[in-house]
Each structure stands twice: as C-alpha cells, then as structure tokens.
Amino acid sequence: MSRHQHRHRATLLLFGATALYIVLQFIWWAYLLVRKDREMEALITAFELRTEGHVRDTFWMVVGEGSVFLLLVLVAMYLTFRAVRRDLELARMQHNFLLAVTHELRTPIASLKLQLQTLERAGLSARQRDELREDALEDVDRLGRLTETLLSAARLESGRHDLRPGPLDLVELVRAEMDRAARHGALLELKAPERLPARVDPEAMRMVVGNLLDNALKYGPADGPVDVSLDLSDNGATLVVADRGPGVPAGERQAIFRRFHRGGDEETRRTKGTGLGLYLVGRTLEAMGGSVLVGDRPGGGAIFTATFPIS
C-alpha cells in the first residue's frame, strides 16, 4: 500500500473515530440528563410538588428533543463524511494523474535523448540514421498528443471547447488514425463503406477516434486484433471499437468517462495513460450532440459505441 493510500485510510479512520466519539458523548449526555431529571422528579414528587403525569411529560420532552438533536447531528456527520470521501477520492485521482503525466513525459524525453546521443556517433549507416530519426519523430508526436490532451481537458473544464465543423470523409479520417496506431505493430480491422461524407470538427473527430483506438490497444492483448466499424445510423454515424481485453465491469462503466479516472494504483500500474482519454471522448461527443456507451464484447473484451451527428 502506498503512502498516499495510508493517508487516505488514516483520514477516514480519524473521521470515523471522531464521529463515534460524538455519538457516544451525546448518548452519555442524554443519559446523565435523564438520570438527573428523574432524581429531581423523585424528590419533587416525594414532596408532592407536582404530579406523576407531569414527570412523564418532562421525560418524553427530553427524549423528543434529544432525538431531534441526534438526528441533526447524524445528518451533518453523513454529509461531512460524504464531502470528505469525495475530496479524498479527487485527491487520489489527481495524485495518480500527476504520476501518469510524469511517466508519459519522462519516457519519450529519455528516448529522444538516447536517439540524439546515438546520432552523434560516427560510423552509423544512412539506414540506421533514418530509423533513429523516425523513432525520434514518433516520440515528438507522442509528446504533441499528450500536450494536446492536456490542453483539450483544460478547455473543456473552462467551457471553451469551440467546435469548427468542416467537410471531410469519416472513413479516410478513421483509416488515418488506424494507420498511426498500426505503426507500432497493432492489428486493426475496419468494416466501413468506401466513403462517408460528413461535416464535423476534424480535430475533435481525430481526438475521439484516436483515444478510442489507444484505449483498445492499451487494454487488449498484444496479438489480439481490434475490430473497428463505421456506418450510418438514425442519428448520424456510429463508430464501434471492440477489443479483446479484460472488459469493463458494470460498476465502472460510468466512472471510466470521469476526469482522471483510472482503476488501481498508478504506482504499480503497467498500462500507460493519463486518465483523460475517455473523459475527452465523452465530453467531446457530448459537445457534438452525440454520446458514447461501453458494453461487453461476445467472447470477452469491451465494445465502445460512439454515435454523433454528421451534418
């Protein structure tokens, strides 16, 4: 268990202990109040200063007022606990996000440094130099995509996600993103018409397709193909991306589209990413007037279905 998780648990334990102490103190206070009241009532009754019915009325008044006060305390404690838990969960996700971004930056930077140092060596053939340059350009592209992801998330949070629709061929755009992903040896299969003219924001569409493909490749097996289909639908167009990974549990199918959400602990995670990809997919499609759903693929894996208008 990481130090961050220890702090998370310690905070919840401290809150629980404090809440239990408050409830026990209230019960003890109510008990003492009722006992003292009964003692006073016994003395007063002994001197016949008031009737037995009045004694019972006083007892039930204390019980009634105490119950209302206890209920208010419990409601306040519940609301406080929920707020604390929400803040702790956000802090955990932000902690994981910082670790993920650090890793995503460090890996291509270290690779670029190694490639540049290798290029300085004498005796490299022209073919070797070309391969190093291609690898360096891929790392630069990776850094560029990460930067664009962070900027897009910031724009979405500030409400400045302006769409600029333009004419394009959706099939051509999807094929281009698949070619980019296939450069790393990924196996992708596309089922689509020859052309599908549309009027959408090209950058927004590239982000949606690219992030869905990257997600499928991250969680699917290295030798397992990713099935992609694109076709017209009643609401415009439907893009389906199916992988052969572990799938998404039913309880996680809404959470995966939240900002920073990634299951597990970032300090022990093996899959790369920032926890922003699917968040950007969901928010971008929402801005386009579309939506995205995730379900089970027959035989194992996950299916992401994105629908969006094309005019």
Do 155 and 191 belong to one domain?
no
Do 94 and 174 belong to one domain?
no
Q: Tens digits of per-residue pLDDT, 167-198? A: 999 999 999 999 888 876 778 899 999 999 99
Q: Which of 105, 137, 160 is the last residue of a domain?
A: 160
E runs forming strands in the chain: 166-169, 188-191, 197-200, 226-233, 236-242, 291-296, 302-308
Do 5 and 144 belong to one domain?
yes
pLDDT over threshold 80, residue 290: yes
Give me the pLDDT at residue 309, please. 93
Which candidate, 254, 287, 251, 273, places its Cα nearest to that of 105?
273
The answer to whether the beta carbons of residues 95 and 266 sit under 8 Å apart is yes
Do 47 and 147 belong to one domain?
yes
Do 15 and 154 belong to one domain?
yes
pLDDT over threshold 50, residue 268: no
Choice between 303 and 55, residue whose per-residue pLDDT is larger? 303
Which candidate, 217, 230, 223, 221, places its Cα nearest to that of 190?
230
Q: Tens digits of per-residue pLDDT, 69-110? A: 777 777 777 777 787 777 777 777 676 667 667 767 787 888
Q: Which of 160, 184, 204 is the last residue of a domain?
A: 160
Cβ count near 262 (within 10 Å) = 22
Q: Tens digits of per-residue pLDDT, 10-25? A: 666 776 777 777 777 7
Which candidate, 256, 258, 284, places its Cα nearest to that of 148?
284
Do 122 and 181 belong to one domain?
no
CA gap 176, 197 in Å, rounded: 15
Do 155 and 172 belong to one domain?
no
273-295: average pLDDT:
86
Do 174 and 141 belong to one domain?
no
Choice between 25 and 62, residue whose per-residue pLDDT is larger? 25
Angle between helices 126-157 and 277-288 (to 10 degrees): 60
Look at the pTM and tell me if it is higher than 0.85: no
Strand arrangement, sheet containing 302-308: 188-191, 226-233, 236-242, 302-308, 291-296
Do 7 and 135 belong to one domain?
yes
Do 1 and 150 belong to one domain?
yes
CA gap 144, 189 in Å, rounded: 26
Q: Tens digits of per-residue pLDDT, 46-58? A: 555 555 555 555 5
Residue range of the domain that includes 106: 1-160
- β-pairing verdict for 302-308 and 197-200: unpaired
Do 299 and 242 belong to one domain?
yes
* 18 sits in which H/E element: helix 3-46
Do 88 and 129 belong to one domain?
yes
Which of 20-24, 59-63, 103-107, 130-134 is predicted least confidently?
Answer: 59-63
Overall number of domains in the chain = 2
